A and B are shown apart, each in its own frame.
Chain A
Amino acid sequence: MSTLLIMLAGVVILGAALLTVTRRNPVRAALCMLLALAGVGALMLGLRSPFLAAMQVLLYGGAIMVLFMFVIMLLTLREDEMGPEPSDGSKLGAACMSLLTLSVLWFGISRRGGASYETPRLGEDFGSTEHFATFLYTDYVVAFELVTVLVLGAVAGVIVLARSKHRTDLVRTKLSGREEGA
């Protein structure tokens, strides 16, 4: 049952991912990526991580994809603004590089042995939200707090980047005026 779900999700993920990287229209690419992300969520469900599956759908399928769609709709790119199609040479080079990487990874995976999901002592609560939260807020609470700092830094960075030049100049004149006044 679990293997079937994993294989099914795998087919969906790989197909949708291939469509994502080959579509010219960004909206179509984003919708294909949404399908791939949903597939990853299903895969996590098959690997007994329901909390992570929910987070995958909420964070990736919800927040990140909405951000992507928002930017795509905001820019409403014309054909000439997206740049030309990649040349066949660059496609071939990229395909060779990724196939090389894949063969190295494939070699490593096929050489490791003895991996199985046969786990007689697997706890009933493994992967449940309660079990997960117990670890998140005890053993890994420092990492959790550090991530909040990272998110704060990202928010500050986005605000700085999103400011228009005109607006920055306005603030600068105001600040310099205040300094002269003081």
Chain B
Amino acid sequence: MNTPLVSLVEAGKTYGQLDALSAMTMSLNEGEVLGLFGHNGAGKTTMMKLILGVISPSSGKVDVMGMAPDSKEAWHCRSKVGYLPENVSFYEQLTGLEVLTFFAKLKGFTKKQAIDLLEQVGITYAMKRQVKTYSKGMRQRLGLAQAFIGEPKLLLLDEPTVGLDPIATRDFYKTVDQLKSNGSSVILCSHVLPGVEQHIDRAMILSSGKLLAMGTLSELRQQAALPVVIKPSGLNGAVAQDSKLNAFLTDDCQNTLMVPEHEKLSVLKLLLSLNGLDDIHVESANLEQVYQHFLLKHELSEHEQVKGGQS
């Protein structure tokens, strides 16, 4: 029952000399939303292509719904997979409806379902217009509608919210949550997006084809051991005088305390006991900071490796 929907075992892909992805091991369960983060060229798209079966791994094994996605047997599974590529521009001369009907028919669905999907992403009003008249946001919505064809079991979305306005972004996440509760698995691929945190179960951070970190957000926060930022106001220098609180003060900013996660509560208690405190702002490390932490750590270790090799 609990076999993962997608699993990669030591899967790697090389293009000539370039290691696009090296020995990646991961798995994705049914109904799980995985965030895939990394710079351009980090291997996100390569990993997606491997899972989609468009390319075959140079080493290791890829398994989707119990079979290799690049094999002949996996053919019928393809209509259960939805994909939104990065920067796709659809056939400009055709109308939105024609484009979506074309894709729906390829997956064995009808024009009727295409219209329903256009309604779901909110561009029914423009479906009789040629795609070349669409704005960036409308094109992105059309791309999403295309990925949602046939209520896929597995969705791979490359930069899904690029060009979407805040309302469309909210609608998009609502759809993702809805698909998730229907048992679909989603892989969201992006540079770090604000607002993605509450919608993903786990995050993967990639850099130059290597896995830097994987886990739930709280696990990653723990691994990164990033401090909690506490900003009290109205204390008039009382913090600087307190010998215990003094240690957490940052150099550049007078009123900001950087506190390790495990000391958070004791520091907060101390602050609350001080007179004159009129407001307090507590902020745990967000996804972006966690991401930057891991990238920085990776860069530093690579730097040292280069140095070590030279000496």
Q: A and B from one assembly?
A: no
